[in-house]
Chain A
Amino acid sequence: EVQLVQSGAEVKKPGESLKISCKGSGYSFTSYWIGWVRQMPGKGLEWMGIIYPGDSDTRYSPSFQGQVTISADKSISTAYLQWSSLKASDTAMYYCVRQPPVGAIQYWGQGTLVTVSS
């Protein structure tokens, strides 16, 4: 069974750094792209970017380029989303997903809620 298990909720202050994780299991982690999707409170879905863990090829939505960093550690089947300096506007639910670079999203993680507040 394909599973994407994300790290737990985080509460941070503006300016702090953060790295959240997504561990894949039940499939060959290095053979499928992993993406990240943002959902701000009460809002819709925004696609942020993807990484191919096999070779770390990474692509970002223009809206998120330079704002976040996507990485992966294939030795532990885990992808990451990180911020160097959080803003209050980063408050959102973040989902990791397994998807082809051109394709629908069949598998979703359970989501990680990030709250940024002073």
Chain B
Amino acid sequence: EIVMTQSPATLSVSPGERATLSCRASQSVSSNLAWYQQKPGQAPRLLIYGASTRATGIPARFSGSGSGTEFTLTISSLQSEDFAVYYCQQYNNWPDFGPGTKVDIK
């Protein structure tokens, strides 16, 4: 079983600032890593797949990087609609999600 961890658990950011979220896998998942955004009362939405490819319709302010065991999601300039919970998911083996990072307003 691959264990996914995310840090920090909560990130307080002011609108317009940059947010950097981390995701770590307990063993290499190559680039088989996705990021999702979930707002209250909504289903998650795919942001990034293949560690760095934006999904259809995702703004350019979202970017992903990393490979192997260390991954980063960067939101270059936070907009009001970006305050949400973000999950990483590996799909190299059996799919597993990380515990999530909540991005809230500072």
CB within 8 Å of B: which residues of A?
35, 44-47, 61-62, 95, 99, 102-106, 108-111
Contact = CB atoms under 8 A, between A and B. Distances in A.
A44 B100 contact: yes
Main secondary structure of the interface of B (DSSP, over half): loop
B55 interface: yes
B32 interface: yes
B87 A104 contact: no
Interface of B: 1, 32, 34, 36, 38, 43-46, 49-50, 55, 87, 89, 91-92, 94-100
Nearest to A109: B43
A102 B98 contact: no
Interface of A, helix, strand, loop or mixed by DSSP = loop
Contacts of B36: 45, 105
Nearest to A93: B43
11 contacts: A35-B95, A44-B100, A45-B87, A47-B94, A62-B1, A102-B92, A103-B49, A104-B55, A104-B89, A105-B44, A108-B43
A40 to B, nearest CB: 12
Contacts of B34: 104-105
A104 B49 contact: yes
B97 A47 contact: yes
A104 B91 contact: yes
The 5 closest A-B pairs by CB, nearest first: A104-B34, A104-B49, A108-B43, A45-B97, A47-B95
Contacts of B49: 103-104
Contact of A104 (B46, B96, B99): B46
Contacts of B45: 108
Contacts of A95: 43-44
Nearest to A111: B43
B46 A106 contact: yes
B91 A103 contact: yes
Nearest to B53: A104
Contacts of A111: 43
